[in-house]
Structure 1
C-alpha cells in the first residue's frame, strides 16, 4: 500500500515538473514573443493568443505539487529537512496557481506601450504577479536546498545527490544572472536566463519525483535528527 502511494506521489511530481515546462510550447505555437528578451509571464498575459494553454499548464502543475506536498507530509517520514522541503513545495504550488491566475495585464512594446503599467523588460514588477512570482521562486529554492541537504544528511534520495545538486547550482547561477544583469545597461538575454532558470526548476521537480519513486526503503534509510 505504501509503495503504491509513493509511486502515485512520485508520478504526480513528475507530471507537475513536465507541466511546468509548458513554456517550451512557445517554439511551436508562434506566440510572437522573442524568447531572448521576453519573460515567461508574458506568455499568459491578458489578451495573449495562447494564454489559456500556459495558464492551465501552470495551474495543473501548482495543484499537483500542492496536493503532493500535503500527501507527502502524511505518508512519508517527517524528518525536519524533508518537512521544510515539502512545506516549501506546497507554497511553491500555491504561488504557481496564483501566478497563472493573476497574470500581467499588458505586454509592452515600442509601438504599443501599456497605458496603465510601466513598460520595460520587467513589466511584471509593477503587478501583483510580481509578488506571486517572487514567492514561487523563493519557495522552490528553499525546497531544493532542503531536499538536497536532506539527501546528504539522511540518505535515501539518491537522485538528488548528483543530478539535483547540479540543477540547484544551475538555477542559482541563472538567478544571479537575472538579478545582476537587470541592474546593468542592456538586455543581456534575460529572457534566455529565465528560461534556463525555469527549465532547471522543471528538471529538478522531475528529479525529485524520481528520487521519491526510487526510495522504497526510505523509512529505513533515514536516521533520527
Structure 2
C-alpha cells in the first residue's frame, strides 16, 4: 500500500489538494444560500431544499450543478484518501461514508423531484404537502446521503479522540455534529406532529451544519501531518 510521508513535498501537496477538494465541496453544498438572493418563489420556512432544483424550477441547473460538484469532489477526495493516506479503521469508515455521501449527492442532483404543487400549477397525481419528495426515488438518495454523512461525522469525530488526531474536529467538528443531530431530531419528531414547525428552517440548519463540518474536515486534513493517521 502506497502511503504519503509527512516530511515529503508530495505528502504536503496531496494533503493540500485533498483539503481544498473537501473544503470546496462543503462550500458548494451550501449553494442553497443563494435562494436568499434569487427569486426562487419558495418560502424557506416551509419548503425543502430539494425543491430548489425540482424540474421546472428557474434555477434548477445552478443548484443541481453545485450538488453534482459537491458529490464529485468528495468521491475523488475519498478515493484518494483511502489509497494514499495511512489507514486506520475509523478513518477508513469515515472516508468510505464520505464516498457514499458523494455518490448519493450526485444521484440527488440527477434524480430531482418532478413537481412542486401549487394553486396555479397543480401536479395531477404528483403528491402534495411539505414533503412531496418523500414519494419519489429522490427520497432514497437523500436518505442515503444524510445517513452516510452522519456516519462520516461520527467516525471522524471518534477518530479525533481515539487516535489523538484531527484536533479541530474534537471541538468545532463535534459541536457541529451535535447541532446537525439536534436539527435532525427536530425534523423527525415535528414531522409526526400537526403543523409544519418550520421544518424548512430545520433542514437548512442541518444542511448548513453539514457544509461547515466538511470545511472543518478539509482544514483538519490540511493541518494534520499525514503520519498521525497511523499513530497509536
Alignment TM-score, normalising by the size of structure 2: 0.94
* CA distances 1:154-190 after superposition (whole Å, capped 9, x unpaired): 0220110000000000000000000000000001000
Q: Which of 169, 174, 177 is equivalent to 1:168?
A: 177
Q: How many residues align?
A: 223
Separation in 1 of the partners of 2:228 and 2:36? Answer: 45
Shift of 1:203: 0.1
Shift of 1:116: 2.5
**Contact 1:156–1:222, Cα closer than 8 Å, also in 2:** no
2:107 alignment partner in structure 1: 98
1:128 alignment partner in structure 2: 137
Q: Matched residue of 1:129: which SS?
A: helix
**Contact 1:82–1:147, Cα closer than 8 Å, also in 2:** yes
Shift of 1:74: 1.2
**Contact 2:26–2:214, Cα closer than 8 Å, also in 1:** yes
Separation in 1 of the partners of 2:196 and 2:229? Answer: 47
Gaps of 5+ in 1: none
Residue 206 (structure 2) pairs with residue 197 (structure 1): yes
Separation in 2 of the partners of 1:38 and 1:160? Answer: 31
* CA distances 1:1-58 after superposition (whole Å, capped 9, x unpaired): 1110110000000000000000000011110100000000000000000000000000
Q: Matched residue of 2:37: which SS?
A: helix
Q: Matched residue of 1:121: which SS?
A: coil
1:187 alignment partner in structure 2: 196
2:215 alignment partner in structure 1: 206
**Aligned counterparts, 1:69-84, within 5 A:** 69-84=78-93
**Contact 1:102–1:129, Cα closer than 8 Å, also in 2:** yes
2:50 alignment partner in structure 1: 41
After TM superposition, where is structure 1 displaced by more than 6 Å over at least 4 residues in a row? none
**Contact 2:94–2:156, Cα closer than 8 Å, also in 1:** yes
Separation in 1 of the partners of 2:190 and 2:81? Answer: 38
1:9 alignment partner in structure 2: 18
Gaps of 5+ in 2: 1-9
Q: Matched residue of 1:174: which SS?
A: helix
**Contact 1:104–1:129, Cα closer than 8 Å, also in 2:** yes
**Contact 1:14–1:205, Cα closer than 8 Å, also in 2:** yes
Q: Matched residue of 1:186: which SS?
A: coil
| Root mean square deviation, CA, Å | 1.0
* CA distances 1:42-82 after superposition (whole Å, capped 9, x unpaired): 00000000000000000000000011000000111110000
Shift of 1:221: 6.3
Separation in 2 of the partners of 1:180 and 1:108? Answer: 24
